[in-house]
Amino acid sequence: MPRLAANLTMLFTEFPFLDRFERAARAGFRGVEFLFPYAYRPQDIRARLEQFGLQLVLHNLPAGDWDAGERGIACRPDRSAEFGEGVERAIDYAGALGVKQLNCLVGRTPDDVPAAQAHETLVDNLYRASQRLKDAGLKLLVEPINRFDIPGFHLHRTDQALALIDEVGGGNLFLQYDVYHAQRTEGELSETLRRHLPRIAHVQVADNPGRNEPGSGEINFPFLLGHLDRIGYQGWIGCEYKPAVSTEIGLDWIQRIAK
């Protein structure tokens, strides 16, 4: 079975956040991930991880005012200082929680900023962040997100993300490959994974349409999960989907297609 990590932002949502760790462990997960830890004391999250024998495999840098609809600030010239402060906060949490990689949601392209300036800001912010994380023994990731779900999101294709990684340089920026977002935007899932495997630090899964559990839609997950094994992917697979009914009712997909 692949190493599956429960995304606690989207799974077990009928329970308070700190109670979801126990539910994930009871369901057989050995890893967890989530969007943000910053609303909680790191020692409280660490206690849940240790109590239930779970590994935290990923969380995101701060991404602005999420409740107001912001989805990242890395390409905003007027928010660079805030972005840098968020990097430091994320590093502190990562150290306390034992996580080894952090994802950067780069945000929507600003309407009020020239495209070249937004891009230059993004490159500069990612370079400085990747080097700070490198000093701390952490990897920095970036994730393309489809523009159907988040209109205007700056980074929305794999080739665009890889070109950005090349431009940033520095050797500590990697791709987070979300199968759902990639399917909606470009397809070619298996060949993209094979071709760019050395640059992919994390994989996330959900089916399409609906972003529900694997096996509910058009993606051939028995083939794709086997393909990841065949090409030698060694990382975790984050289960970042919306359960069609409830998390626990839908977990039979693991027995059907992930073994």
Q: Which residues are catalytic?
A: 143, 240
Contacts (Cβ under 8 Å, ≥6 apart) of 38: 62, 89, 93
Q: In whole angstroms, give the CA distance from residue 91 to residue 211.
A: 30
Amino acid at 122: L
DSSP for 30-76, please give it. Answer: SEEE-S--TTS-HHHHHHHHHHTT-EEEEEEPP-S-GGGT----TT-
Q: Answer for the pair 248, 25: CB distance below 8 angstroms, yes or no.
A: no
DSSP state of 175: E
Distance CA 54, CA 39 (A): 20
Report the C-alpha gap between 203 and 120 in whole angstroms: 27
The helix (H) or strand (E) run that includes residue 32 is: strand 31-33
Q: Alpha-carbon distance 34 to 74, whole Å?
A: 19
Displacement of CA 205 from its chain's centroid (Å): 10
- Is residue 249 packed enough to be buried (19+ CB in 10 Å), middle (13-18) or exposed (0-12)? exposed
- Shortest CA distance to 213 belongs to which of 35, 7, 31? 7
Q: What is the C-alpha to C-alpha distance for residues 251 and 212, in angstroms, rounded to an integer?
A: 11
